[in-house]
Amino acid sequence: METVVEVEGNDEAKLKECGIRNSTSSLSSPKQISDPVVYKLVRLEGDGRIVPATDDELMEVESLLIDDKCQMHIVADPGQTVGCISNEGSSSGIAQLESLEGLLQSRNKEAGPDKLNARLEVPDNWWHHAVIFCNVESQLLKLVKSSFLYSAFEEISLLLMLRLACGSPYCSSAYLIVDSQCCDQHDKLLHIDAKLQCEIPLQETVPSPAPSLSESHFNQSGSFGECSHSSDKLVAGGSTLSVVTTKPDFSKLKGEICLDNLSIKELHETFKATFGRETTVKDKQWLKRRISMGLTNSCDVSVTSFIIKDNKLVKKGNEEISNCMDGSYAEDPPIGNQKDLPTSLVSQLDYHQVVPEKIRLENPNLDDNSGSDDHQTEQRAAKRVRKPTKRYIEELSEVESKESNGRLMNLAKNPEHGLISLKSHVRLVRNVPLDGRTVVTRLDSLGGYGIQVPCVSRVRRSRPRKNFMALLKFNPSGMGMEATLVKKSLGDHSFPPDDGKESRVLKASSTPEHVHHQKFNPSAMGMEATLVKKALGDHSFPPDDGKESRVLKASSTPEHVHHKFIGVPEKDKQFSVMSAIGLGHNTELKFINSSRDSDDNVVTVPTPKGGLRRKHHRAWTLSEVMKLVEGVSRYGAGRWSEIKRLAFASYSYRTSVDLKDKWRNLLKASLAQTPQDNGMNSRKSTGAMPIPAPILLKVRELAEKQAQVLPNLSSTKIAGSTRKNVHEKQTGFL
Partner DNA sequence: GTTAGGG
Partner DNA sequence: CCCTAAC
- Tell me whether residue 259 or residue 451 sits nearer to DNA (CB atom): 259
Spatial CA neighbour of 37 closest among 297, 341, 413, 328: 297
Closest by CA to 582, choosing from 612, 552, 614, 554, is 554
Measured from the CB of residue 604, what is the shortest distance to DNA in angstroms? 9
Compute the distance between CA of residue 482 and CA of residue 479 in angstroms, rounded to an integer. Answer: 5
**Under DSSP, is residue 257 helix (H, G, I), strand (E, B) or coil?**
strand
CB of 509 to DNA, least distance (A): 6
Q: Between residues 239 and 706, which has the closer beta carbon with respect to DNA?
A: 706
- The residue among 389 and 438 lying less far from DNA, judged by its C-beta, is 389
Grouping H, G, I as helix, E, B as strand and the rest as coil, residue 88 is coil
User: How far apart, in whole angstroms, are the C-alpha atoms of residue 366 and residue 528?
Assistant: 50
Cβ proximity to DNA, 120 vs 666, nearer residue: 666
The dihedral formed by the CA atoms of 236, 238, 241 and 246, expressed in degrees to the nearest 10: -170
Smallest gap from Cβ 392 to DNA, in A, equals 8
**Shortest gap between Cβ of 465 and DNA (angstroms)?**
6
Per-residue exposure over 211-242, b if at least 16 CB sit within 10 Å of its own CB, e if not: bebeebbbbbeeebebbbbbbbebbeeeebbe
Sequence-distant (6+) residues with CB within 8 A of 143 are 44, 131, 132, 133, 134, 402, 405, 406, 409
Please say which residue, 383 or 609, places its beta carbon nearer to DNA: 383
Task: Decide the pairing of beta strands 433-434 and 437-438.
Answer: antiparallel
Q: How far is the CB of 511 from DNA (least distance, A)?
A: 7
What are all long-range contacts of 99-106, with beta carbons under 8 Å and residues at least 24 apart?
100/75, 100/76, 100/160, 100/162, 100/177, 100/235, 100/241, 101/75, 101/235, 101/240, 101/241, 102/31, 103/31, 103/33, 103/35, 103/177, 103/241, 104/162, 104/175, 106/77, 106/164
Q: What distance lies between CA 205 and its chain's CA centroid?
A: 30
SS3 503: coil
Kindly tell me which of 88 and 661 has the beta carbon lying closer to DNA.
661
Q: Which is nearer to DNA, 336 or 500 (CB)?
A: 500
Q: Smallest distance, Å, CB 67 to DNA? A: 20
Nearer to DNA, 284 or 360 (CB): 284
Nearest distance, CB of residue 348 and DNA, angstroms: 17
- Residue among 268 and 514 whose Cβ is closer to DNA: 514
Q: Minimum CB separation from DNA for residue 467, in Å?
A: 5
58's enclosing H/E stretch is helix 55-67
| Cβ nearer to DNA, comparing 191 with 654 | 654
Chain residues in the site for DNA (CB under 7 A): 282-285, 383-387, 389-391, 462, 465, 467, 501, 504, 507, 509, 511, 514, 614-618, 620, 637-642, 644, 653-654, 656-658, 660-661, 664
Quickly list DSSP for 539-581.
Answer: --PPPSSS---GGG---SSHHHHHTS-TT--HHHHHHHHHHHH
Counted residue by residue, the chain has a size of 734
Distance of CA 647 to the CA centre of its chain: 43
The answer to whether 670 touches 700, Cβ cutoff 8 Å, is yes
Residues 118 and 164 sit within 8 Å (Cβ to Cβ)? yes
Smallest distance from the beta carbon of 620 to DNA, in angstroms? Answer: 7
Q: How far is the CB of 715 from DNA (least distance, A)?
A: 13
Least separation in angstroms between CB 461 and DNA = 8
Cα gap 139→278, rounded to integer Å: 36
Q: Integer distance in angstroms from the first to the last C-alpha of the chain?
A: 84
Cα distances (angstroms) measured from residue 52 to each of 110, 133, 556, 700: 18, 9, 26, 63
Which residue lies nearer to DNA by CB, 527 or 703? 703
- Provide the minimum distance between the beta carbon of 56 and DNA in the complex, in angstroms, as a whole number: 32
Residue 40 to residues 118, 144, 453, Cα–Cα distance (Å): 12, 10, 23
Of residues 265 and 386, the one with the C-beta less far from DNA:
386
Phi, psi of 483 (to 5 degrees): -60, -45
Minimum CB separation of residue 557 from DNA in Å reads 13
Cα separation, 543 vs 171, in Å, equals 37
Residue 114 CA, chain-centre distance (Å), reads: 37
Nearest distance from residue 501's CB to DNA, in Å? 7
- Which residues have a Cβ under 8 Å from the Cβ of 533 and sit 6 or more positions away? 541
In the bound complex, what is the minimum distance in angstroms from residue 269's beta carbon to DNA? Answer: 17
- Given the complex with DNA, which of 283 and 331 has the nearer CB atom? 283
Q: Which of 659, 660, 657, 671 is nearest to 624 (CA)?
A: 659
Q: Given the complex with DNA, which of 59 and 508 has the nearer CB atom?
A: 508
Closer to DNA by Cβ: residue 96 or 457: 457
* Beta-bridge partners for 139: 136, 450
Query: Residue 301: what are its φ and ψ, rounded to 5°?
Result: -75, -45
